[in-house]
Amino acid sequence: MREEERSRAEPGSGGDSVPGAGESSAPPARPLTTKDLERIIHRAAELQFVESEPGGDVLDEEEVLRIGHEVGLPAHHVRRALSEVRAEAMLPDLPEDPPSIRRLLGAGAVRVARVVPDQASAVQDRVEAHFLERESLAEVRRRPGFSLWEPAGGVRAHVQRAVNWEGRGYELAKAGRIELAVSPTGEGWSLAVLTADLRNVRREHVLAWSASNVFVFGSASLVVGLTSPVPLALAFGAGLAGTAGGSLWGTRATFSTQRERVRLRLEGLLDRLERGSRLDEPRPGRRLRG
């Protein structure tokens, strides 16, 4: 009896066998994409922090380099990423924005950032020369790595922007302030950050919307109150409220379009810095080389 049981347990003995024995029941693994790799690394870092000792959620540079080496990242790429993160942490805060106005009409500032080739001082000089010569801006403050600009004053600057012979649009000169911040991120590389404060433009839209609605509501209320019964006056008031809501939506759309034009202008500057080409845009009908 014992020999019979032993023969059934031995592989290939002719006894009962488990279906799929010796084969994996899991489906074949699919190839991993770059996005999958990013998620895996991010999740692994989270797990490491959870398992670390109290107070161990702060890593020094050597630890970051070691982790990067373990996941196969070149040390010079990790060092550059470290420099960029540290530079971004030193950026000035965006201008204060009342939450109610922000919800109604959108953010009052635009900020773009890019790591570009060249030393920080050279990048700052190039952008500031462009602001002064091509964007009708005037310097307010300047120190190494930071400068503050506003629309140039004087009759000549106003006429230049109004006539706009070269078709530049002078979108940046419509902002209340333009900030430039440049920080070194490694040998031959710099983080360039441009911030446009558009709260003045948004304020102009709000004032125009408010003035138009005050006039319309005041005139309509006077007419309806003197000539119409109460039910009709209420219906007319509801219609006016809907009209005000529609005009607010239009005001938001107009401001959003203007904010997007400023953002594209700033992104264009960073594009040309990244390519190392000239910062002034081509005139209509012409194309700049280099």
Q: What is the CATH number of the domain that holds 158?
A: 3.30.310
Same domain, 193 and 220: no
Domain assignment of residue 52, yes or no? yes
Model pLDDT, residue 15? 47
Q: What is the DSSP code (8-state) at residue 96? A: P
Same domain, 184 and 116: yes
Domains in the chain: how many in total? Answer: 3
Q: pLDDT tens digits, residue range 82-115? A: 777 766 666 667 777 778 777 877 888 999 988 8
- What is the average pLDDT score of the chain? 74
Domain assignment of residue 100, yes or no? no
Q: pLDDT tens digits, residue range 35-50? A: 777 777 777 766 666 6
What one-character-per-residue DSSP string does 217-238 give? HHHHHHHHHHHS-HHHHHHHHH
Same domain, 111 and 63: no
Q: pLDDT tens digits, residue range 118-135? A: 999 999 999 999 999 889
Is residue 175 within 8 A of residue 225, CB to CB? The reply is: no
> Among 270, 284, 252, 59, which Cα is nearest to 168's?
284
Same domain, 149 and 132: yes
Which is more confident, 253 or 287? Answer: 253
Model pLDDT, residue 182? 92
Q: Measured between alpha carbons, how far is 194 from 127 in angstroms, rounded to an integer?
A: 10
Task: Report the range of poorest mean pLDDT among 24-33, 95-104, 270-279.
Answer: 24-33
Q: pLDDT tens digits, residue range 154-209? A: 878 777 777 766 667 788 999 999 999 998 887 788 889 999 999 988 888 777 76
Model pLDDT, residue 17? 47
With 0-12 / 13-18 / 19 or more C-beta atoms within 10 angstroms meaning exposed / middle / buried, residue 188 is exposed
Domain assignment of residue 94, yes or no? no
Domain assignment of residue 20, yes or no? no
pTM, two decimals, is 0.63
Same domain, 240 and 190: no
Q: What percent of the chain has pLDDT over 70?
A: 62
How confident is residue 24, by pLDDT bands cut at 50, 70 and 90? very low
Q: Measured between alpha carbons, how far is 202 from 209 in angstroms, rounded to an integer?
A: 11
Same domain, 168 and 238: no
Domain assignment of residue 25, yes or no? no
Model pLDDT, residue 101? 78
Same domain, 76 and 120: no
Which of 89, 118, 149 is the endpoint of a domain?
89
23-31, long-range: CB within 8 Å, 24+ apart, which pairs? Answer: none
CA distances from 123 to 93, 117, 239, 278, 280 (A): 21, 8, 55, 12, 14
Which is more confident, 255 or 215? Answer: 255
**Which range of residues forms the domain containing residue 63?**
37-89
Section 63-88 average pLDDT: 75
Q: What percent of the chain has pLDDT over 90?
A: 23
Same domain, 121 and 194: yes
Model pLDDT, residue 194? 94
Which is more confident, 9 or 114? Answer: 114
